[in-house]
Amino acid sequence: MKNSHDDIENLLRSATEVPFTEGQKQRILRAAIALKEEPRRRPRPFVRSWLAGVGGVAAALILAVSIWRVGVPGMTGHTNRLGGQTTASKTTGSNSVVPIEPGSAIGLQTAPLQVTEIGLASKTPGGPEDEVVATIYNGGSTPISKKDVVGVLGFGSGQTLGAGVMPTSDWLTFVNGPDTPLQPGQRTQWTFVPVTAPKDSKGNLIETPQLVFYDNAVMVASKANMTWQLADVTTTVTGVSVVPYGTNGQTTSVQISVQNAGSVPVDLNRVVAVVWFTPPNTATDFLRPNVTRFLTHVKTVGIQAILQPGAKETLTFTLTGAADKTLMNDVPHVVFANTNP
């Protein structure tokens, strides 16, 4: 067959168009609104004021072997700092800090900060149910302040907290404790606006919130009442960039290469990623005070969700939170924990 110039041009113009759907537009708008509004959230007592997770490119994790490198393709924003290879266990130089090793189990101890009621509310009169409101109670014998605890807030269809929030949650984030110290026997209201949690078209949160607070340090698994089993994978952080947002916020992109170092497949749909940043040469874990931490599921669209032994995958996390001027000087770590220990 002979193809004339016009035939070819007509043929080229007849290609099937890849749709840009209304659903995708709405997802992008929600992510953009989250970026826009989060740093400007009005001051509220007991509100945890950072957010996590913009949809986009996304990702997964397991324990951290970190290489902090300059010039990652596609990363924009501040120049990354050069740094050496670091493992999480090497950063935990203090005897009091439990090493975090791929394939190991770590312990979390439930704090005496109890959640007695939890539900949804509207942050604006007449608006959608977009805010989590909980009543928290100090069941211990000493005051509890923000630095003493780390909360895990999840959304899922179930309400079983016996094994923690992770197994029944579709969406997760770390949250802070009360902004002001809570005395023993005292209770107060705690609120949080999870801007990227699953919502319906009207902006109503559509799943059941679950919240638990843990003490502010990782423990040896046998000495804690909650165990997180870390997936046996190694990760290499290949790039981190920060894009300032507004006056109080920033979006952090963390790109990693993850490799299954074990002998069994790892399902990235069944792990959650902990991404945290620590000051250089500081022995600390992701629950410690003054650590910038993120908790997220792995987005597996477009990647191999089942990581066979020895297999590698590249993942990118896009995480938005309060501005942290020191973050680009800090050492990044990534760990993957199984959601069904």
Partner 1 sequence: MPGEFDPHNQVGLLELWMEQYGTDVTNFAFSYVKNYHQAQDIAQDVFLRAFLKADSFRGESTVKTWLLSITANRCRDFLRSWHARHEVYELEDEIPRAGPDNTERAVLERLEQDRVWKVVFELPLKYREVLVLFYFRDLSTKEISETLGVSDEAVRTRLHRGRLLVKERLESEPHEELT
Residues making contact with partner 1 (CB under 8 A): 1-3, 5, 8-9, 11-20, 24-25, 27-29, 31-33, 35-36, 54-58, 73-74, 76, 243, 245, 251, 257, 301-304, 312-314, 318
Angle ∠(277,283,289) on CA atoms, nearest 5: 60
CB 250 to partner 1: min, Å: 10
How far from 162 is each of 32, 165, 210, 247, CA to CA, in Å? 35, 8, 11, 40
d(CA 341, CA 251): 31
**Which residue(s) pair with 214 in the sheet?**
110, 150
Residue 32 or 82 having the CB closest to partner 1:
32
Distances (CA, A) of 151 to 46, 146, 286: 12, 10, 12
> Which one, 75 or 100, has the nearer CB to partner 1?
75
Least distance to partner 1 from the beta carbon of 325, Å?
18
Q: In the complex with partner 1, which residue's Cβ is closer, 24 or 340?
A: 24
CA atoms of 186 and 137, how far apart (whole Å): 6
Of 33 and 220, which CB lies nearer to partner 1 in the complex structure? 33
Shortest distance, CB of residue 146 to partner 1, whole angstroms?
Answer: 29
Chain position carrying tokens 């992109």: 253
- In the bound complex, what is the minimum distance in angstroms from residue 136's beta carbon to partner 1? 33
Identity of the residue, 92 or 253, whose beta carbon is nearer to partner 1 in the bound complex = 253
- CB 264 to partner 1: min, Å: 21
Contact 132, 198 (CB under 8 A): no
> What's the rounded Cα separation, in Å, for the pair 227 and 231?
13
